Amino acid sequence: MITRKKPELLAPAGNLEKLKFAIHYGADAVYIGGQQFGLRSNAGNFTFDEMREGVAFANKYGAKVYVAANIIAHNENLEGLHEYFKELYDIGIAAVIVADPALIQACREAAPDLEVHISTQASVANWKTAEFWKNEGIPRVVLAREVSVEEIREMKEKVDIEIEAFIHGAMCISYSGRCVLSNHMSARDANRGGCAQSCRWKYDLFEDGIDGTEPISELANEQYSMSSQDMSMVEYLPDLIEAGVDSFKIEGRMKSIHYVATVVNVYRKIIDTYFEDPENYKIDPEWIDEIWKAAQRSLTSGFYYNEPTEKDQLFGRPARIPKYDFAGLVLDYDENTKIATIQQRNNFGVGDEVEFFGPNFYHFKQTITELWDENDEPIDRAKHAMMITKVRLDQPVEKYNMMRKGK
């Protein structure tokens, strides 16, 4: 019988809207980026005022907010560190995620009570490294994506430290994100927040030593010779629970609110179902179907069970992935008329089959038979971005439920 406490479900939040949806759909904690010292310079990073609002919202629901400050710093990046960490502590950030010892030192000097977690960028992949950080007073390490389930089990057996591990999202072709391809290809430093995603580009391959021949990559339909499939542990989460993982991390600060809500919703359901009755836990095929509705690439379990092979890359014929558009956000629902007020996020209209979903894995499908604009005038389609519409529904919905449709 498993007596272990529930692992934390940690979700990405690229902006304030995504933070609120992640928590609303079941995240125990979110990680965000500030406007300095993070690795996602193109994400909708948070101002200090937005952080305050995010922390207040999280506190209301018993959730935590972490800030990623995980650049590999050069001399020019050191200015302002102390003031930054002091401000994060005053705002109420629960922890910072850091890779560079210079930033750890600055945080401890400026805000000694602000918890520090070691980023996946530090490539923690063995129990001795985990022990090193434990002895340095670090309470949690975010593991390299290159570790196996058995290696995690051994770490937990030998070191009393919290382990955070990725369970879903993009995989980096380089070792724990330590990439210089972007620097070389586009003069954008991946380790200081400027990654150009060079590994996601298409490349031609030529046979070594032979000039003037046709590229051998023409034999494949897609020339993604370096691009990895995305990680998904939706079918294997109990293995990580039993190995002792303390925090399950979802990648995707630059993904949509549809992605965040869908993926968090699925893993929340899996975790809760497992702990209700571990001995009789079974995977529900509907959870797998649901995760595919937010997938952008084929899915793999990464390094958790075996060394990845060419089958875990995108090279070759692409898999058929179900395509769904996030079509609308529920703003209100009238129980008497059964009419929902919906903010349009993608074109939809009368005759379309749509699916509504919300927290706690609430789902239903229906065909739209009646549609009005915000002035109660009948319309056939909601064509304009963010327009307010009204739809009669077969089942009740709540504010922040979402509507999607297949492509």
| Topology classification of domain 324-406 | Elongation Factor Tu (Ef-tu); domain 3 (2.40.30)
Task: Identify the band that residue 3 occupies on the pLDDT scale cut at 50, 70 and 90.
Answer: low
**Ranges 31-40, 174-183, 305-314, 375-384, most confident:** 375-384
List the end-to-end C-alpha distance of the chain, in Å, as a whole number: 44
**Closest-CA residue to 402 (of 288, 257, 284):** 257
Check residues 350 and 320 and name the one with the higher pLDDT. 350
**Residues of the chain with pLDDT > 70: what percent?**
85
User: Where along the chain do its domains lie?
Assistant: 8-176+227-312, 324-406
CA dihedral 19, 254, 241, 297 (to 10 degrees): 140
Write out pLDDT tens, residues 87-106.
Answer: 999 999 999 999 999 999 99
Whether 61 has a pLDDT exceeding 50, the answer reads yes
> What are the residues facing 116 on neighbouring strands?
96
Q: What is the pLDDT of residue 2?
A: 47
Length of the chain as a residue count = 407
**How far is the C-alpha of 238 from the C-alpha of 244, rounded, in Å?**
10
**How far is the C-alpha of 295 from the C-alpha of 299, rounded, in Å?**
8
Contacts of residue 399, defined as CB under 8 A and 6 or more positions apart, other chains included, come to 330, 331, 332, 333
Question: Which CATH code of 3.40.50.300, 1.10.640.10, 3.30.565.10, 3.20.20.70 fits the domain covering 8-176+227-312?
Answer: 3.20.20.70
